[in-house]
Chains A and B, each alone.
Chain A
Amino acid sequence: MKRYSVFAIAREALRHHSGWDRAWASPEPRASYDVVIVGAGGHGLATAYYLGKNFGITNVAVIEKGWLGGGNTGRNTTIIRSNYLQDPSAAIYEKARSLYETLSQDLNYNVMFSPRGVMMLAQTHHEVRGYLRTAHANALQGVATEFITPQRVKELCPIMNIDGPRYPVLGALWQPRGGTARHDAVAWGYARACSAMGMHIIQQCEVKGVRSEGGAVTGVETTKGFIGCNKLGIVVAGHSGQVADMAGFRLPVEAVALQALVSEPIKPCMDVVVMANTVHGYMSQSDKGEMVIGGGTDGFNNFTQRGSFHHIEETLRALVETFPMLSRLKMLRQWGGIVDMTGDRSPIISKTPLGNCFINCGWGTGGFKAIPGSGWAMAELMAKGEPGPLARDFNLWRFREGQFIDESVAAGVAH
């Protein structure tokens, strides 16, 4: 792998950029691998990367039904934060956030992590108490957050109307080291690094069945033939239910479409990420200048990645009210992504009823921010066969035991 740097660009510029290598190879699958990971989204690729980096396991294939990074990794609103309430959540999201801090250097690929700060507005007294609780929890979890005044909110985000007649801003939970990153680059950066370690990323390869023997997985049937493996990781977000079904077990997840949109690009006007749960909306400005806006989830289960209108309308009402200057901007594009929601809105990183088969799913509306931490924890689980401290609480059996990690307590909307 040729290293990326400003010098490399200068060198290539002289020969019209004809000498750049492929970012990742496009090999035909081998008959078998030590590890097969289904799903070349951020979580699947990060799992592969940390299997190699942390455990030296590089005989790995990551297989992907479509194109890598084409699911929720490439269609989210790129928010990164770790100001979660429950201990297990705060641990894994903070691990992810801290890995994001150095990810560009680790991968030699600029993922543009921008720790510009994330604020979650409190617009009811009840919400104030909720965020104060999160702030107290975060203080003990090693997550740097603080509850800030409306005046400070206004200083950090001057375009906001903090004195709206219906829901004046009463304060906000502020995580200064939260922010955004370039979502595609995260997938591409991991893919390039995996490929450089000799791992195979096999796109346009759909899993059609899971083969097992004596209660343990032996490989997967795919559109490119049977691929054997000693260990299988299922990391397929919205379609987790289907792949789990092939592996012979059921999951407590349901798939719904989450809506998002961007405005036309404008010059910089907003330096932070704002989330407003009472009125249901969140927004940041991309480096390109678009206002990136998250909506809600559709009220019915489905697998189409289509945009629908009703949540967009609700979201835009909230945001135009919160940021009156938005009114004359225009919506450029809207889309949907299929998110896999668990009952407690927390992920599953777990062994499964099938031996040597592991699953990582249920990130719901908040998976992008977790990618490095999720891959780190999943790699540990797959390498050792037992979960480490980051993954332990996110096991599949918690639903049977009632040991939920309920984040809906703290955040009522998608994120």
Chain B
Amino acid sequence: MSTRLASGGRLIDRKTTQKFTFNGTWLSGFSGDTLASALLANDQMLVGRSFKYHRPRGILASGPEEPNALVNLGRDDRLEPNQRTTTTPLFDGLQATSQNHWPSLEFDIGVVNNYAARFLPAGFYYKTFIHPRAAWKHLFEPVIRKSAGLGRAPKDRDADRYEQAYAFCDVLVVGGGIAGLQAALSAGRRGDRVILLEQAAHWGGRAPVDGDAVGGMAAGDWLTAALEELHALPNVTLRAACTATGVYDHGYVLAAESLADATPGDGRPRQRLWRIRAGRIVTATGAIERPLSFAGNDIPGVMLAAAMRDYVVNHAVSPGDRTVIVTNNDDAYRTALVLRDAGLAVPVILDARPAPAGPLVEAARARGIRIEAGRAIAKVQGGKRVTGVQICLQAGEGAVLEEISCDAVAMSGGWSPVVHLWSHCGGKLNWDDRLSAFLPDPARPPLNHDGRAMVTPAGAAAGIFEPDAILTSGEVAGADPDSLGEVQDELLARQSVVVPPVWVMPQGARADLRAKMWLDFQNDVKVSDVQLAAREGYESVEHTKRYTTLGMATDQGKLSNINGLAVLAQALGEDIPQVGTTTFRPPYTPVTLGTLAGEARGEIFQPLRRTPVHGWHESHGAYFEPVGLWRRPYCYPRSGESHADAVKREVLNTRAGLGLLDASTLGKIIVKGPDAGRFLDMLYTNMMSTLPVGKCRYGLMCNEQGFLSDDGVVARLDEDTWLCHTTSGGADRIHGWMEDWLQCEWWDWKVYTANLTEHYAQIAVVGPKARALLEKLGGMDVSKEALPFMAWSEGSLAGIPARAFRISFSGELSYEIAVPASQGLAFWEACLAAGAEFGISPYGTEALHVMRAEKGFIMIGDETDGTVTPLDLGLAWAVSKKKADFLGKRGMERNHLSSPDRWQLVGFETLDGSVIPDGAYILAEGSNDNGQRNVQGRVTSTYYSPTLKHGIAMGLLHHGPSRMGEVVEFNKTDGGTVKARVADPVFYDKTGEKQNV
């Protein structure tokens, strides 16, 4: 059984007991435990069920590479599925439940898949479930989906919050083992700004557990001294419990820091995302122990050898009473020694090598531990827990020599350096025959913006496993990365660590054994599956991965990839380096989506732009619609009033008396300079350089293709200054467009632009009584003579400095008054107060739309969609025929754009007075070659006109303007049609006498 040892445990505090539940049962552990160590201390080796066959699974590892022991952590609004028990710090009140079983962990119906495993090899689902066709969606897929997945889907909104932070440094060191600490020391001593990150909550990596001397001292003493010095260096920042998850171009690194995972609800953000820009990066990321592939290597109780020693040394937990060790290298002997020192039985060490030797082997032998050379495990016995092993010759086919009872197996297949961060941005790997591992190739590193190496590996991440060599490698990586290649080669050549390849155990295992050898534990990929993939022609390592799902589980192949591709290479008769690896992708370990999204939630999901009058709109019941990042009042419904009724009222009130619109969102871009006129002549289709000071002109902008992209009124402020009004949604885009041309193409033109959209509040005072209101506010001559239509003047109104533009988007007498943003609300309120006697009422964007449609004014985004030219919209008068060039001129000259056969703008009045549905098309006779109904136009704007009391619409119609009076048919989505008569798009005040008073 697994249990807590009476003494020891360097990371636990036996004085602080912590209670937690697993599947509803209360258990206890100590402060400093991980959830995994606490479960083991309570003899809970069975922790979950595998993905495909629902096999019982236990704890395999002690770090982020754990594929089996994943749980649903927490509940309700703090439920986190697939949480690795091995990296979850235990805390008081923790609640965990096991995953992927029904009805219970101990008895899972899904285990029938295990008994049918023979019929469910890799890729079986590509070969069946094909007939009958409907069965996939209605029968097979739902069953497969239900049985797949792992953790429970959360239902609630996350109770926690997350934050993001930025950091910059000269050297980012990833990994707080002795290599990383030494690298940080050497870079820090030179005065570099250093950030050192460690994924675990404590420093030192494997050294304190493995127990070798470091730099001539006990590992613990070295660690204490190193940390002391690092803490004293002001240019070094240390961050534990912070995982570097991805390396991106130009030294950009993401790291996820755990803050309040173990103290839920303490008010702090749960996790923090660091975005670090590093001059260069040292990856001292260590190595991950590899499992061995023998039959039954997934049975609970089989554990990685180093993980087992972690549990004993760090947490004083014994995974088993009697542990068989199986290995192809010396390192696993440490586990034997640790177990024996803790008073636990080690009945045998099975070493696949024919003649193991060396100090660790001798030490084990000296303690009387039985060592069997050239031996392997034929099969592990047991179901939900190991009960014994069958021993065979490694060189044979699995004939059983002996059975040994045990309740745990510690396995080691060698070590794979963690090369993920090295590889994310293109670092290349070499296969090392002595270590049977891929190592970073110092000659082919990922490159920084300056062409220099961006990442430098150190320590075990570079294949260097002996403590003093690790220190040297850390020292060089931290201080002198350019000489790294040379030093690394020398260190590698000098070290005595050798790991002979043992990919399948025993070497000639029979098919029945190979079908029980797990490569990818979580996804249930076995040696036989990879061999099947190779046999079927899925020869590329990427094909094998995708066909078998090898390496696609939540550990992303940390334990399985090298073993898998070695098996593939054998099956193909190729060398491992020839087969290559799959691509290493970020993140190194999974990152919480909430952390990646950060604070952007709810109201602040995106920045909210507010006009100076926004608060007033809110407090007066406005119904808002999003317009870019703004929210604009759609209408101001009164109590009991529908939105449609509110819009109707607002239109009628404005047309008959006085309306007020917050037009502050309108883009306002200043264009200034000696070449400003010339610039605007290029930008707009019509002439702006000739606009007299004091006047306004409506202008159109096209993209290079000749399609209309924005419109607005331009006012000339003085000799070299123009104020360009754009659409609300287009302001930033158009400003960017201007700068694009100025910076990239016409960089020698003397023009300056500034987006002043938020500097001014702009209030439209609209309606027959608009002039009366402004006169009452006083301060400026707004008479027809002083301020005629399409002119502007500057002065003050109601004591507020103001610019008044005599422009109209409604067809009424209308002034748009720009005042400094700080006085926008005051001016708005002054208008409302003074306007009470005129029946003033604010109106929203929908009334604005209705009124402009009644007047036949186009709206960018309604009449235009990126495929419509000014000529299509009857705006030829605003397209200069004199100018030598303007943006879009050549585009417009292309055959299709200049064709007389285009759809053109007209108005429509329905025969029955109804409103044409939004988006309807105008039917034509017959169908095209693809069987689609022919059409000859479409509606672009369609409204109920409160003024005319029937439906009106604008739209594009083939040869439209020459078809006045003709009746056409619009389609409806229900198959019906609406008949409408082609009309002039100007439905209201065709002569303009209302706006020109």
Could you tell me which A residues sit within 8 Å of B by CB distance?
A: 4-6, 8-10, 13, 16-18, 20-26, 66-70, 74, 87-88, 90-91, 101-102, 104-105, 108-110, 112-116, 123-126, 128-137, 139-142, 146-147, 159, 161, 164-167, 182, 184-185, 188-189, 203, 263-269, 278-279, 285, 287-289, 304-309, 312-313, 316-321, 324-335, 343, 389-390, 392, 398, 400-404, 406, 408-409
Contact = CB atoms under 8 A, between A and B. Distances in A.
Interface string B403-430: 0000000000000000000001110000
Contacts of A26: 537, 539
A5 B131 CA distance: 9
A206 to B, nearest CB: 15
B590 A401 contact: no
Nearest to A182: B126
Contacts of A166: 602-603, 605-606, 608, 626, 631
A125 B632 CA distance: 12
Contact of B131 (A25, A67, A105, A164): A105
A267 B556 contact: no
15 contacts: A16-B511, A67-B543, A68-B543, A74-B546, A109-B127, A123-B626, A124-B627, A139-B975, A142-B932, A146-B973, A264-B82, A267-B149, A267-B150, A304-B426, A402-B896
Contact of B130 (A25, A105, A266): A105
Contact of B150 (A141, A146, A266, A327): A266
Interface of B: 51, 78-82, 118-119, 121, 124-131, 133, 136-137, 141-142, 144-146, 148-158, 160, 162, 246, 248-249, 252, 254, 275, 424-426, 511-512, 515, 528, 532, 535-540, 542-543, 546-547, 549, 554, 556, 583, 585-587, 590-594, 596-598, 600-603, 605-606, 608, 625-627, 631, 634, 705-706, 861-862, 865-867, 891, 894-897, 917-921, 923, 928-933, 935, 938, 971-973, 975
- Most chain A CB within 10 A, of B600, B627, B930, is at B930
A309 B246 contact: yes
A139 B973 contact: yes
A265 B523 CA distance: 11
A402 to B, nearest CB: 3
B535 A22 contact: yes
Contacts of A165: 602-603, 605
A25 B639 CA distance: 74
Nearest to B627: A124
A9 B124 contact: yes
Contacts of A22: 535-537
Given A112-B136, A159-B155, 9 more contacts: A136-B920, A137-B919, A140-B971, A266-B149, A278-B626, A279-B606, A316-B597, A319-B593, A328-B81
Contacts of B118: 13, 16
B940 to A, nearest CB: 9
A289 B246 CA distance: 24
Contacts of B600: 317, 320-321
Given A116-B137, A409-B865, A265 B249 contact: no
B515 A16 contact: yes
B590 A8 contact: no
A313 B626 CA distance: 22
Nearest to A184: B546
Given A203-B540, A308-B248, A9 B511 contact: no
Contacts of B125: 110, 112
Nearest to A404: B867
Contacts of B154: 325, 327-329
A114 B136 contact: yes
Query: 3 closest Cβ contacts across the A-B interface?
Result: A289-B149, A133-B919, A402-B894
A22 B549 CA distance: 19
B150 A265 contact: yes
A287 B554 CA distance: 15
A33 B346 CA distance: 66
Contact of B601 (A6, A90, A132, A321): A321
B727 to A, nearest CB: 11
B265 to A, nearest CB: 14
Contacts of A279: 605-606
Contact of A306 (B137, B425, B528): B425
Contacts of B917: 132, 136
A304 B539 CA distance: 24
A129 B859 CA distance: 13
A124 B728 CA distance: 14
Given A9-B127, A133-B919, A147-B973, A70 B542 contact: yes
A114 B137 contact: yes
A94 B160 CA distance: 44
Given A265-B148, A312-B596, A4 B627 contact: no
Contact of B932 (A20, A108, A140, A147): A140
A402 B897 contact: yes
B592 A287 contact: no
A167 B626 contact: yes
Contacts of B920: 136
B973 A330 contact: no
A341 to B, nearest CB: 15
Given A265-B148, A268-B146, A332 B81 contact: no
A17 B82 CA distance: 33
Given A267-B146, A287-B148, A16 B80 contact: no
A66 B580 CA distance: 13
A328 B592 contact: yes
A308 B973 contact: no
Given A184-B546, A266-B153, A329 B593 contact: yes
Given A17-B532, A134-B919, A139-B973, A268 B127 contact: no
A113 B126 CA distance: 11
Given A22-B537, A141-B932, A287-B148, A136 B128 contact: no
Contacts of B141: 112, 114, 287
A282 B713 CA distance: 38
Contacts of B547: 184, 188
A237 B792 CA distance: 54
Nearest to B153: A269
Contact of A264 (B126, B554, B919, B928): B554
A16 B511 CA distance: 7
B598 A104 contact: no
Nearest to A336: B585
B126 A267 contact: no
B127 A328 contact: no
Contacts of A324: 156-158
B535 A308 contact: no
A68 B119 CA distance: 27
B708 to A, nearest CB: 13
B133 A264 contact: no
Nearest to B121: A17
B529 to A, nearest CB: 9
Contact of B149 (A67, A268, A308): A268
Contacts of A305: 583
Contact of B585 (A124, A142, A164, A333): A333
B872 to A, nearest CB: 12
A328 B425 contact: no
A23 B131 contact: no
A129 B919 contact: yes
B127 A4 contact: yes
Contacts of B585: 307, 333-335
A22 B938 CA distance: 54
A343 B287 CA distance: 48
A262 to B, nearest CB: 9
B599 to A, nearest CB: 9
B678 to A, nearest CB: 27
Nearest to A146: B973
A140 B935 contact: yes
B78 A328 contact: yes
A279 to B, nearest CB: 8
A307 B246 contact: yes
A332 B590 contact: yes
A281 to B, nearest CB: 11
